[in-house]
Structure 1
């Protein structure tokens, strides 16, 4: 993986000097971590799991292998409505505290945003109208409303601070899976130009609100077959800091084919645009294959210079909707083997990397 990562062009990458020092360090970590392996991530990891909710410092992954994931992710859905909880009934105050806790223990946090449909008032998955994105752009009927939504997002990010006032750097991953058409910002719901303008407007508003601690992730699904398709709606190197993909297993052969295909494309884009790459969402619901971790996921991920691989959530309110093992699950023993691989970086492994001297071939 090191050889592949080191083959990048010598052309200087686009940099944004307005980023906070903490955000620039996070950017360097994401770029350099593939030299050592790939980080493991899990959505909503510390706030609930199978058979529990709200416990302090608990994690299904930690209960299985003894360590936290290096990356945790949370969702901002419903922050635009002004409520106290997100769409999965997690209090925003809890998310704020867990983000600070993960940062202070040396880990990384990513945020998605399943924003409600601003035209119909229904959820993100309401694709009944193909003019939603157009309606939130400048001149559109919902533009002012949507700018207020963006302000709520920026205000929340700016409120995530350590005790000494440092704004916690995080990855922001809005408008994801846009190469499908199941969200109101999806492929068949807006033009490429409208999608790019949505991104540009989002980024500009965050900058205006002083949210310079953010890095931005672009994450289509597995649909793109080549770099042109992958970049069709790419908002530009001056905005995007990490490229990703969201892809889930339903059939093993189809999963491996689609993921290998898009990861090869992403590796080309990573080199040409000098952006780190990641599997921003993946998993196999209920993990019915007891050796999935070491026989499917590990051989796939270790072939590519990915910064992290993130599994979706272990729902406490929906039966059979989980993507990470828990104590007693059939894949528990295999996950421990996955954890023991030198390629997989959990929190303690990640913290052993000296990112101030990444030219040395350090052992973890």
Structure 2
């Protein structure tokens, strides 16, 4: 009985339950940071930026190519050829705007399209060649040209200017092809070229000449008569670099000639004078023919008047012509030859002066 009490054992205390661990999300090998996925809107923005960058690159490349293409045509040679082509086309105003002739405005009268349109021949461009100094800001361009088949060469100096818009090459031609021609007149004070007219301020009497410039070509300078008693012949000039025409190296001088209208006025004056000398034949005067001064006559006939008046040794303002008279004398009918001397009144430029009624102003005397 007692043994049963000693063998009885005490029941063990149970251990607390163990809570199982919950597994976390799997981690990729070697990764320590997690990234948030890019949204659809972000992807769209990045794509747009990429497109814009690509477009800009293309535009830059295209711009560089375009500048090179444009500059390839903006060369010293091209600039000179453009200028010469304007002259060959008769575009005087555009050529003058491109290359200034460097002369006063009063000498530019005939640098016009109208004047060049009247030319019977203009510039022909044969060849244009630039030097090989491609890196220089001062270039030399040589042009082979012709006018009416006559060839000549001209060398131009072309200087680089500041680039247009900072990128486009610009050049300035320093020499104009305008050539000076001096003009004066005797009894002529105006002339025209192709409907463009101007006054002549100088005359050969003062040894002065007006200067006008022309572009290469063949032009006809036409005098403008101041009245019906004077006229002059046109003058054709051949203008090219350094050469003008046959007489133009010394300048053009319009020589005014008295017309038949003046001769008619002289004939009228001779008739009136001879008629007045009949009633005063006993009065010796240089205003009457000497034959009439030494004879007593009641009638005189003019058998011959001067067909033309020629310049006398006294100068271009003194003209002479033979007159044949037939008159009554104590010894019967006689014939006498005398010389009518006509002295024209002119101003300091040898322009014919007119009377208040518009007639030529001159004095008439007789020699012999």
TM-score (norm 2): 0.17
Question: Which structure has the higher relative contact order (CA within 8 Å, separation 6+)?
Answer: 1
Give the structure with the larger helix fraction: 1
* TM-score, length-scaled by structure 1: 0.17
- The structure carrying a bigger strand percent of its residues is 2
Considering only CA atoms, is the larger Rg found in Structure 1 or Structure 2?
Answer: 2
